[in-house]
Structure 1
Amino acid sequence: MPRIAYVNGSYVLESEARISVFDRGFLFGDSIYEVSAVIGGHLIDNDLHLDRLERSLRELDIPMPLPRNEIVVMQRTLIARNELDEGVVYLQVTRGSEDRNFDYSDTLKPSFVAFTQKKTLQDTAAHRDGIKVGLVDDTRWVRRDIKTTMLLSQVQAKRQVKASGCGEAWMVQDGFITEGASSTAFIITQAGKIVTRPNSRVTLPGCTRLAVLQSAASQNLQVEERLFTPDEAYLACEAFLTSASSFVTPVVEIAGHRIGEGRPGPITRRIQRIYLELALSQSAAQ
């Protein structure tokens, strides 16, 4: 079945989806994106993603392209029309289109596109067996808390570590791990504490990260939000990462260092279970 995309108010065949060559997202990366997971046809953590979409747009002074409730209607329409049971809905809002100029008109109307992607999100090989992570220098711009489409550093990071069999890159700045190229980094200390970096301008405020922290708190698991070094990560008893399209994925090796026993540990398994149970129950209730 041909996929249907959303482009500036219209639902069109993907082969007919078009944006202007003068779109500022295309020319400058002057745009914001979000990705929401879908399981059983239901959106997962979508309110958190729309909260972050609004915040990112506000930080760049780009207006919301539609009222929030209408965005949800559009997402659900795409899910239905594409018969999406499991996968993601991608949203992108750009500042708009006009003749190329670093400065922009104050009256520009945002451009808004969206599409679905079918993906297996549950019980993948990565979830079952864990993945290896490589380390790279963090070369991104300073406002990483804004979810822009300027992703070249992340693309290069993933390509760099792929050559050594790694499924993700964790980035390092000033001696500390910031986050993954497309994920949030977590370690679990020998004392059983779940450690992740606190939100700031140097990391993206992860939606799945927030949901996992809430899930951990509900189970009285110990959580510590602080910086941690690669050396501390090597000594962790467990590690994992989170993202909208990978949920909670165990990490069994970091930069060639085996983590714990080299397989997903019991705390990570527990977090995987409680996060998914809570996310599915909340999405089904919407």
Structure 2
Amino acid sequence: MAALISMQKVFLNGEFVDKDSAKISIFDRGFIFGDGIYEVVPVINSIIVEKDGFWDRFQRSLNEISLNLPYTNDEFESILNNLIEINSLKEGGLYIQITRGVAPRDFSFVKGVKPTIMAFAFSDSVLEHPAAKSGITIISTPDIRWKRRDIKSISLLGQCYAKNQATIAGADECFMVEDGYVTEAGSSSAFIIKDGTLITKPLSNEILPGIRRNRLLNLAKQIGLQIQERKFSMDEVYNADECFISAATIILLPVIKADGKAINGGKIGEYTTKLRELYKRALKLEANIS
């Protein structure tokens, strides 16, 4: 899947500047320690969608590492809308990052530091993602990450390592495995469907609480699927009737092959297709698209 490429104007510490002019200090704790959090929020028809889930997870991550956003939600949302407008963004997303700020190198959370706040816009095909029709391939990789994966931390070396293994193998994504069970995908949430049941790992500090997850569980019930929130293994992935991932700007994408083994004969399943169409319909309604 394609990398996020920033559009021309970015927001940095109270200003909208050209991306090539945006600079931070080498002593920023995000640069030195990875001391910060981030979010990605989808934009459709120049409108931020799924805002409630974004704000809930964004604020939770900030609270968990004792960071404060020096704006009200309305003020920051106005900044994000301005970023959309000045970049003429129609469809894609916003990447938002907050670090603890510039301070002498000290492992403790330094007090009284002004946070560094950055956001950029990127264009992408959300509603009609090309892989939605072709499906994607994955490999399994060991989950070597830290134990607070519920925080959307900018410290992503574990994910980068895993995703690079997928790239080397010619795959699109990876399912990370710990103690014999799938935790989540490298940059997305993981789901399988077996015998009319949607299966996904229960929420805990072991996975990021995917914003799309709750909506997908509700939509799954609407189309007659049972729900099991439990651990599942890669053997279950290989033998699943259907498998898919979800993330901010992909809605959901079907997985048709895992570790070289075809899932459902390499065909996209009917439930996966129905779920994506229902989700698309809900997002279009939210974005005022008839």
TM-score w.r.t. structure 1 length? 0.95
Equivalent residue number for residue 78 of structure 1? 83
Alpha-carbon separation, structure 1, partners of 2:90 and 2:41: 13
Residue correspondences, number: 283
**Which letter does structure 2 place at the counterpart of 1:93?**
I
Match of 1:40 among 19, 27, 45: 45
**Which letter does structure 1 place at the counterpart of 2:261?**
H
**Which letter does structure 1 place at the counterpart of 2:91?**
E
Is residue 55 of structure 2 the alignment partner of residue 61 of structure 1?
no
Is residue 220 of structure 2 the alignment partner of residue 222 of structure 1?
no
Instruction: Please state how far the C-alpha of 1:220 moved relative to its aligned partner.
Output: 4.0
Equivalent residue number for residue 139 of structure 1? 144
Q: How does 1:157-236 map to 2 (within 5 A)?
A: 157-189=162-194, 191-236=195-240
In the TM superposition, what whole-angstrom CA distance separates every residue of 1:55-74 from its partner, at most 9, and x where no partner exists?
A: 00101111123211111111
Alpha-carbon separation, structure 1, partners of 2:183 and 2:70: 31
Task: Using the TM superposition, name which of 23-32 and 203-212 deviates more.
Answer: 203-212
Alpha-carbon separation, structure 2, partners of 1:75 and 1:56: 19
Mapped contact 2:200–2:228 kept (Cα < 8 A): yes
Task: Using the TM superposition, name which of 242-251 and 204-213 deviates more.
Answer: 204-213
Alpha-carbon separation, structure 1, partners of 2:284 and 2:218: 14
Equivalent residue number for residue 155 of structure 1? 160
Mapped contact 2:242–2:264 kept (Cα < 8 A): yes
**Which letter does structure 2 place at the counterpart of 1:187?**
I
Mapped contact 2:30–2:99 kept (Cα < 8 A): yes
Alpha-carbon separation, structure 1, partners of 2:222 and 2:10: 38
Instruction: Please state how far the C-alpha of 1:215 moved relative to its aligned partner.
Output: 2.4
Alpha-carbon separation, structure 2, partners of 1:19 and 1:210: 36
Instruction: Please state how far the C-alpha of 1:5 moved relative to its aligned partner.
Output: 0.7
Match of 1:20 among 17, 21, 25: 25
Q: How does 1:82-101 map to 2 (within 5 A)?
A: 82-101=87-106
Match of 1:239 among 243, 246, 255: 243
Instruction: Please state how far the C-alpha of 1:283 moved relative to its aligned partner.
Output: 3.5
SS state of the match for residue 284, structure 1? coil
Off by >4 Å, runs of 4+ in structure 1:
none
Mapped contact 1:44–1:280 kept (Cα < 8 A): no
SS state of the match for residue 185, structure 1? strand
Instruction: Please state how far the C-alpha of 1:257 moved relative to its aligned partner.
Output: 1.3
TM-score w.r.t. structure 2 length? 0.94
Alpha-carbon separation, structure 2, partners of 1:97 and 1:148: 17
In the TM superposition, what whole-angstrom CA distance separates every residue of 1:20-49 from its partner, at most 9, and x where no partner exists?
A: 111111110000000011111111212211
In the TM superposition, what whole-angstrom CA distance separates every residue of 1:234-285 from its partner, at most 9, and x where no partner exists?
A: 1101100000021110000111111012121100000000111112212439
In the TM superposition, what whole-angstrom CA distance separates every residue of 1:137-170 from its partner, at most 9, and x where no partner exists?
A: 0000000000000111111111111222210011
User: Please, which runs of 5 or more residues in structure 2 have no aligned partner?
Assistant: 1-6
**Which letter does structure 1 place at the counterpart of 2:231?**
L
Mapped contact 2:201–2:232 kept (Cα < 8 A): yes
Mapped contact 2:176–2:185 kept (Cα < 8 A): yes
